[in-house]
Amino acid sequence: MAKDKEAKQQFQLKVPKGTKDWAGTDMIIRDKIFSTITDVFKRHGATTIDTPVFELKEILSGKYGEDSKLIYDLADQGGELCSLRYDLTVPFARWLAMNASVQSIKRYHIAKVYRRDAPAMSKGRMREFYQCDFDIAGTYDPMLPDAEILRITCEIFEGLGWDGKYTIKLNHRKILDGVFEVCGVPKDKLRTISSAVDKLDKAPWDEVRREMTEEKGLDPDVADKIGGYVVRKGGKELLETLKKDEAFVANASAKQGLEDMALLFDYLDVFAVLPRISFDLSLARGLDYYTGVIYEVVTEGSAPSTSEGQKVQQRAKKEGKDKARDADEDGSSDPYVGVGSVAAGGRYDELVGMFSGKAQIPCVGISFGVDRIFSITKARTERAKGAAAVRANEVDVYVMAFGGKGFDGLLKERMEVATTLWDGGIKAEFSYKLKPKLAAQFKSAEAGGVPLAVILGADELAAGQVRVKELGLPDGHADKDGVLVAKARVVDEVRERLGRRQGASAAGVGVGVVEDEVARLSVA
- Is the alpha carbon torsion for 166, 172, 175, 176 positive or negative? positive
Report which secondary-structure segment, H or E, holds 88: none
Alpha helices in 134-271 (DSSP H): 144-159, 173-183, 190-197, 205-210, 220-230, 236-243, 246-249, 252-270
Q: Which of 105, 101, 157, 100 is nearest to 134 (CA)?
A: 105
Confirm if 89 and 348 have CB atoms less than 8 A apart. yes
Count the alpha carbons within 13 Å of 44 in the hemisphere toward its beta carbon.
24
Residue 359 per-residue DSSP state: S
Q: Which of 97, 149, 91, 168 is nearest to 347 (CA)?
A: 149
CA distance 174 to 255: 8
Q: Which amino acid makes up residue 308?
A: E
Alpha helices in 357-506 (DSSP H): 370-383, 411-423, 438-448, 458-462, 490-501
- The DSSP bridge pattern shows strands 233-234 and 167-172 to be unpaired
Q: What are phi and psi of 244, to 5 degrees?
A: -90, -5
CA distance 238 to 232: 8
Give the residue ranges of the annotated binding site: 87-89, 115, 131, 135, 285, 289-290
- Is the alpha carbon torsion for 496, 500, 502, 505 positive or negative? negative
Give the residue ranges of the annotated binding site for L-histidine: 87-89, 115, 131, 135, 285, 289-290
CA distance 454 to 83: 54
Q: Which residues pair with 279 in a beta bridge?
A: 170, 234
CA distance 216 to 401: 75
User: What b/e sequence results for 148-160 when a residue is b if at least 16 CB atoms lie within 10 Å of its CB, and e otherwise?
Assistant: bbbbbbbbbbebb
Confirm if 127 and 17 have CB atoms less than 8 A apart. yes
CA distance 435 to 428: 19
Confirm if 64 and 88 have CB atoms less than 8 A apart. no
Alpha helices in 357-457 (DSSP H): 370-383, 411-423, 438-448
Confirm if 223 and 94 have CB atoms less than 8 A apart. no
Q: Which residues pair with 82 in a beta bridge?
A: 56
CA distance 118 to 334: 12
Tell me how long the chain is: 524
